[in-house]
Amino acid sequence: MNRIDFRWHEPSSGSAGPFDLQTSSPILSILFILSMFGVLTAWLRLKAELHTRGFKRASNMVKRFAHLALLWRLVWLLACLGFTTAPALAGTERARPEIDVILWFDTEDYLSPADDDATLRLCQLLTARDIRATFKIVGEKARVLEQRGRRDVIAALRRHDIGFHGNLHSVHPTPTEYLADCGWLDGIAEFTRHEGGGAADVRRILGVETLACYGQPGSSWGPQAIAALPAIGVAPHGVPCYVDDGSPVGLDHRPFWYAGALNVFNLGPNCTRINVQDPEDLEPGKRQASEIATRLGGECGGLISIYFHPCEWIHQEFWDGVNFKRGANPPREQWKAPPQRTAAETEAAFQRFADYLDHIRSIPGVRWVTAGDLPLLYPDEVRTTGATANDLAELARRISSSPGRALDVISIGSRVYSVADQLELLTRAVHEVDAGRAVNFPLKALGLFGPDAPPPTDAITNLNWFAFRDATRGVFQFIVTEHRVPARVFIGADAVAPGDFLAALAGVWDFYVANGKLPIKQGVTLGSHASIVPEKYVAQDTPELFGGWIIHKAGFRAPKLMELARLQAWTLKPAVRALSGESTSALPASVPEVPK
């Protein structure tokens, strides 16, 4: 992957540095120019006077006046320089990203009524400290809160961000179990069918229009689940968000875009927690939180992920392990509540947690964020602002010059282009020119999913322009209707890999930028066996990847699902944190609307 600054926006080529007047007030800039003009005119007048009369013969009055005028204008110049650059420098200071902390609770134990009380107390403990957390609620948990008449718990939860954590969590088949042998589209449909009702219940019972995020039960992950999020109402600010921990995919322990969603996942050393039941864990946990904050501060900011389950305060064993361990699937009538902690143990755990929170609050520069804040903290400028003509030329140039046809994420300024973004934008641009229209820059990417099947292995090397033109028209039609990268691109009866087609598109755009016309006479060179570099961030299928979760059968594997996950590497790219000043005002109000 290209070297990318994940932390803050690099200045675009030719844009303002800290001393650039473009970043300051226009009035001060005018004063600065006027004073420069003043210094120049004073100097010229002095020179003219001395030239015509000679320095010795010039009157003392003239000499003094000329010197004073020069001095006065110099002082003005320096003052204006100070005023004009100060805001720019201060802006640089403001732009220094903070250390964000996302605190999330998988709220899932629908068997223990004591878990309702633990959830209520956690909500209140956080609200008393003015901290908004993200509660990812299981569909069945929302339903039992309603059935048990716990309006107090529902009202307390509503002061926080509401996410989703599956309909029944650990009842078999779990998401990976039912997605394992699905393809792309039927997998999205299966996830929507299994989980959509639960998501609707959480939205209805908690009184929220949109769920802030989803995260899988245990390790029961699948790429089709991520793509299905808009269909089940998980899209704060219109952007699907995925918040959890796990290892199937990850990007340098920072937030990333993947399969159309903003993912806070696999944060590795930036994910921390304590065992609230273990007195020995508190001090090391506090130290670890401080160390992460110090390290991220040195890296100019970042995101810390901390998660708990309300049931950790009240149970001796996880509620689902008691019932659904290693593929067990007792009927609802036989579900058992897990063994509970004593009141004293629960109380001590709350005290420990309060101590842990207060420690994190005291770390300088930390800021609590929720899943619902993520789309504003990590805007995707390729979608919102779009690619400039220079960006597109640069994309084509870099793809064409990449050694060994290695297709990778490309970062230009604060805009980060996934391989799928590159294919979408270049296809649309070549299609416009082919249709005899000017490309309407900036060109926004709507966002494509990756292909739904591995590419064909056949390769064609050279094509006449008309065969390539017709293939491009076919790809354009495909992406407009299917919103994903085609698994194969047809050149008449032959199918080639979409990566090879992208390499050819880049060559065509390069030619167009250099010559102002398409290579109608020259024809097109297709790539051969282009590789998708971000595939390296998708895990290999191993017995532990899914079988490591105690609810799945030992050694349970999902190789087909991981193959689809690898194909979605087309969409993988780092999420770039907005400058801190940009997002603050746009963040949502901290308390949602009053319950109905």
Give the residues lining the site for Zn ion (CB under 5 A).
106, 108, 217
Looking at the Cβ atoms of 9 and 552, the one nearer to Zn ion is 552
Residue 555 near residue 180, CB atoms below 8 Å? no
CA distance 164 to 175: 14
* Closer residue to Zn ion, CB minimum distance, 141 or 566: 141
Least distance in angstroms from the C-beta of 320 to Zn ion: 8
State in angstroms the smallest separation of the CB of 154 from Zn ion.
Answer: 20
Residue 106 and residue 479: Cα distance in Å, rounded?
36
- Output the residue with the shortest Cβ distance to Zn ion: 106
Sign of the CA dihedral running 561, 237, 159, 589: positive
Q: Nearest approach, Cβ of 482 to Zn ion (angstroms)? A: 33
Minimum distance from CB of 179 to Zn ion (Å)? 17
Q: How far is the CB of 138 from Zn ion (least distance, A)?
A: 7
Q: How far is the CB of 245 from Zn ion (least distance, A)?
A: 10
Question: Pairing between strand 462-463 and 531-532?
Answer: unpaired
- Nearer to Zn ion by C-beta: 222 or 592? 222
Instruction: Give the nearer residue to Zn ion in terms of CB position, either 308 or 476.
Output: 308
Question: Residue 163 CB, nearest distance to Zn ion (Å)?
Answer: 11
- Smallest separation, CB 586 to Zn ion (Å): 31
Query: Given the DSSP bridges, would you call strands 256-258 and 573-574 parallel, antiparallel or unpaired?
Result: antiparallel
Burial class (CB in 10 A: 0-12, 13-18, 19+), 356: buried
User: 98 or 108: whose CB is closer to Zn ion?
Assistant: 108
Do 300 and 96 meet the contact criterion of CB atoms below 8 Å apart? yes
- Of 266 and 571, which CB lies nearer to Zn ion in the complex structure? 266
Provide CB contacts within 8 A for 79, sequence distance 6+: 35
**CA distances to 385, 450, 478 from 453, in Å:** 31, 9, 15
Q: Give the distance, in angstroms, between the CA of residue 387 and the centroid of all CA atoms in the same chain.
A: 18
**In the complex with Zn ion, which residue's Cβ is closer, 245 or 408?**
245
Residue 383 CB neighbour total at 10 angstroms: 16
**Of 106 and 408, which CB lies nearer to Zn ion in the complex structure?**
106
Kindly state the smallest distance separating residue 378's Cβ from Zn ion, in Å.
24
- Which of 288, 237, 345, 333 lies closest to 588 in space, CA to CA? 237
**What are the residue ranges of helices labelled H in 135-183?**
139-147, 151-157, 175-179
Residue 6 or 221 having the CB closest to Zn ion: 221
* Minimum CB–partner distance for residue 457 and Zn ion (Å): 40
| DSSP SS3 for 76 | helix
Tracing tokens 């403990």 back to the chain, one arrives at: 125
3-state SS assignment for residue 322: helix
DSSP string, 175-227: HHHHHTT--HHHHHHHHHHHHHHHHHHHHHHHT-SS-S-B--STT---HHHHH
Task: Kindly list the distances between the CA atom of residue 58 and the CA atoms of 46, 54, 70, 495, 561, in Å, as whole numbers in the listed order.
Answer: 10, 6, 16, 88, 91
- Report the residue number, 100 or 245, with the smaller CB distance to Zn ion: 245
